[in-house]
Amino acid sequence: MNYLVKFMITIEVTQKISAPVEQVCQILLDHPKLERFFNAKIKTTQIQNEGELIGGKGAVRQITIGKIVFEEKIISATNEHICYRIIGNWPVSDHQGDIQLTSLGVDNQTTQLDYIIKFNGPKWLPSFLLKFFVASDINKAMKKLAEHFEDGHISVENIA
């Protein structure tokens, strides 16, 4: 009998970003350029469905972290919400990421990003350890994203 119980890991990160919602969304859906923020190599393997935001619903990105390679699919994407899932059950199972973007202030020049990730880790890896490392990476990435806009990269056209 298997007595190991899997507990869903939940990571929640909130970050304020000095840019309008639409610009933050465009940056987050520009998959190959996400490497600027995340400690991973990212490449688009399938483009979005017809009529969707660029990089949005239907897009698939390949993530490489060291020797670990997996794919994520964008399930839905609007300027205010991005939802993605890992395809398959490796390296973690039942993985879903949700990014909610909310406009703040009367000038709509600030965005609150609420990022929630839920998944099950492999049985051989303690959940608290996996949660610590993933949360640390996500927190660093969201700080880099905020710094990107603070450094004057306000419009998507300025991104090389």
Nearest Cα to 109, choosing from 144, 138, 150, 140? 150
Classify residue 158 by burial, with Cβ atoms within 10 Å: 0-12, 13-18, 19+.
Answer: exposed
pLDDT in tens, 136-156: 999 999 999 999 998 765 444
Q: Would you kindly state where each structural domain of the chain is located, as residue ranges?
A: 9-154
Contacting residues for 16 by C-beta, under 8 A, at least 6 apart: 104, 110, 111, 112, 113, 146
Q: Are 121 and 7 in contact (CB under 8 A)?
A: no
The fold for domain 9-154 equals: Alpha-D-Glucose-1,6-Bisphosphate; Chain A, domain 4 (3.30.530)
Tokens matching residue 2:
């298997």
The reported pLDDT for the residue numbered 156 is 43
Query: 20-72 pLDDT, tens per residue?
Result: 999 999 999 999 999 999 999 999 999 999 999 999 999 999 999 999 999 99
